[in-house]
Amino acid sequence: MAISLPTISTLRRFALGLCLAMLGSAAVAQEAGISGPIEGDVIGGISNPTAIAVPDMPTPRAVDTPAGNTADLGRQVARVIEDNLRNSGFFNPVERQFLRDVDMPQVTAPDYPAWSQVGAQNLVQGYVQAGSNGRLTVGCYLYDVFAQAPLERAGYEVDYADWRRAAHRCADMVYARLTGEGAYFDSRIVYVAESGPKDNRVRRIAVMDTDGANHRFLTNGQSIVLTPRFAPDGRTITYMSYLNDEPRVYIYDVESGRQRLLVNAPYMTFAPRYSPDSRYVVFSMAVNGNSDIYRVAVSGGQPVRLTNTPGIDTSASYSPDGRRIVFESDRSGGQQLYVMNADGSNQRRISFGGGRYATPEWSPRGNLIAFTRLGGGFRIGVMRPDGSGERILTNSWQDEGPSWAPNGRVIHFFRTPRGNALPTLWSVDVTGRMIRRLPTPVGASDPSWSPLRN
């Protein structure tokens, strides 16, 4: 069907000429006879959480399990997934009142128009099934509602007691597929639980799932404990304890609950961090007022000294390839960040901004180093390993002790208020957005993320 166009009005001709002149473009508009697609630029995306629907998961057969009835578990699994996605800051789950019941056939054949009508761009469906082998299976399906297309699916089989992990794994699949980032929900956090007044504070090592569930204390609070770190293999935790009034680094075995001294020396050892292969720990040892950085095998042995300056060298952190170590030193007069080879050679300063820089933590992606910047207050920032591209992510009285999520996208830290109040755990996206408090049963400091669980 051919439609002849009316001639262009003088006004429009004038308008076009005017606009082209404004743009200083030399392009000449043809008036007729153009073919091919029309083309334009959509410049500047917005940044909103993605609307996602996570309806309750049905079960092919309602069965009582040690973790509850599978029908009820289907609801709980969906809520765990939804909470994870919401707490990431990147997703805006459709409110429950708009969620529809999903039956088993619909799990693989979603009602796209209905989910579109409630505004969902993505849809997570699934099912919960009790297996004959005494384990629980959670099927997890991710859909693009607008494109009316499945995106990905996976199934997870767990012991009944670990049903939350299946939910975390499903949420991880969804998060990774929709953001392009690595997963991190199926991991844990070890931190220092703090309670009591500032001058008589009780500190205990505690672990919890990333969403705060399955919280437990590993120490009883009779000794001061500080700076726990998960081993990259997840099997042990290193931390500092004032057991017997001797501040020393310990290794705690997660499986057996046993702990042992890392280095038997008559000096304070502190600031322990694992190597990426979990075989070594770098730490600081203070000898007659001089703190230097050492490395020792997790299994023990003779420590190797890596720094040798009169200043305070501490807070060492390995690069993910294990070849380099970033640390802080006040050898220049105030705390600054330095990078050295893993054997201690080639030490060079990377931070040069005003104020002081402390507690560097190398991103598991390798591309950034998070740190605490002091000056006025404590703030969390990131910079590249060569010291360029510094960005400050938070602004508060005292934000300290950054720790990376396994995916290198999210940073945990602790925030201490003025006066006698307890510190709290917070997370911030590496872009500086979405600062969020992590709920803990009591005060909390020194968070450290475990690797993704296996």
Partner 1 sequence: MTQFSRTAIFLAAGSALALGACSREAPDDLPPPPVGTTTPDTGPTGPTGPAPGSRADFLAQAASDTIFFETDSYDIDPEDRAILDSQAAWLLANPSVRVTIEGHCDERGTREYNLALGERRANAAANYLSARGVDASRMTVISYGKERPVALGSDPASWAQNRRAVTVVPIG
Partner 2 sequence: MDRAERIALGAAAIGHVALFAILSVTLLTREELPRREAVAVTLSDDIGAFASAADRPAPAAERRDLADEIDVMDPPDIEPLPQPSITPTPAPPRPAERRTERRPETRPERRPPREQRRTSRIAGITDGIGSTNDSGTSRSQAPVSGADRSNLISRIVNAVRPCYNLGSLSGTSAEDIVVRLRIQPSRDGSLSRSQVSVLGARGVNGSNRQYESQMVEAARSAVLNPRCPMPPLPDALYENGWSDVVLNFIPAQLT
Report, in Å, the least distance between residue 310 CB and partner 1.
11
349 counts as binding partner 1 under rule CB under 8 A: no
Binder of residue 139, out of partner 2, partner 1, none (CB less than 5 to 8 A by kind) = partner 2
Nearest to 239 by CA among 422, 454, 439, 445: 445
Alpha carbons 286 and 320: distance in angstroms, whole number: 26
Closer to partner 2 by CB, 23 or 264: give it.
23
Binder of residue 109, out of partner 1, partner 2, none (CB less than 5 to 8 A by kind) = none
315 counts as binding partner 1 under rule CB under 8 A: yes
Helix (H) or strand (E) holding 23: helix 10-23
Q: Which stretch binds partner 1 (CB under 8 A): 93-101, 115-123, 301-309, 370-378?
A: 370-378
Site string (320-339) toward partner 1, x via CB under 8 A:
--------x-x---xx----
Closer to partner 1 by CB, 41 or 199: give it.
199
- Interior CA angle at 412 toward 409 and 417, to 5°? 145
Report, in Å, the least distance between residue 251 CB and partner 2.
23
Binder of residue 259, out of partner 1, partner 2, none (CB less than 5 to 8 A by kind) = partner 1
Binder of residue 260, out of partner 2, partner 1, none (CB less than 5 to 8 A by kind) = partner 1
Report, in Å, the least distance between residue 427 CB and partner 2.
14
Candidate list 12, 96, 198, 323; residue touching partner 1; CB under 8 A? 198
Closer to partner 2 by CB, 63 or 304: give it.
63
| Token representation of residue 392 | 């400050």
| Token representation of residue 18 | 């005017």
List, as own/partner pairs, every contact residues 92-99 make where C-beta atoms lie below 8 angstroms and the sequence separation is at least 24, other chains included.
Answer: 92/48, 92/49, 92/50, 92/51, 92/52, 93/51, 93/52, 93/53, 93/54, 94/51, 94/52, 94/53, 94/54, 94/118, 94/119, 94/120, 98/53, 99/53, 99/54, 99/55, 99/56
Helix (H) or strand (E) holding 317: strand 313-318
Alpha carbons 367 and 338: distance in angstroms, whole number: 16
Chain residues 271-310 in contact with partner 1, contact rule CB under 8 A: 271, 284, 286, 288-289, 291
Nearest to 132 by CA among 56, 61, 71: 61
Candidate list 164, 203, 409, 412; residue touching partner 1; CB under 8 A? 203
Report, in Å, the least distance between residue 216 CB and partner 1.
10
179 counts as binding partner 1 under rule CB under 8 A: no
The stretches of 55-206 forming alpha helices (DSSP H) are 70-87, 104-108, 112-117, 163-179
Report, in Å, the least distance between residue 307 CB and partner 1.
12
Report, in Å, the least distance between residue 162 CB and partner 2.
6
Binder of residue 390, out of partner 2, partner 1, none (CB less than 5 to 8 A by kind) = none
Alpha carbons 172 and 181: distance in angstroms, whole number: 10
The angle that helices 163-179 and 70-87 make with each other, rounded to 10 degrees, is 40
Report, in Å, the least distance between residue 374 CB and partner 1.
7
Chain residues 385-444 in contact with partner 1, contact rule CB under 8 A: 397-398, 400-401, 416, 418-420
354 counts as binding partner 1 under rule CB under 8 A: no
Q: Max alpha carbon distance in the chain (Å)?
A: 95
359 counts as binding partner 1 under rule CB under 8 A: yes
Local structure of 198: helix, strand or coil: helix
Residue 292 near residue 303 (C-beta atoms within 8 A): no
Candidate list 122, 227, 424, 450; residue touching partner 1; CB under 8 A? 227
| Token representation of residue 186 | 């199926």
Nearest to 363 by CA among 190, 184, 175, 207: 184
Rg for the chain (alpha carbons), in Å? 27
Interacting residues with partner 1 (CB under 8 A): 197-199, 201, 203, 217-220, 222-224, 226-227, 241-247, 252, 256-261, 268, 270-271, 284, 286, 288-289, 291, 312, 314-315, 328, 330, 334-335, 358-359, 372, 374, 378, 397-398, 400-401, 416, 418-420, 445-446
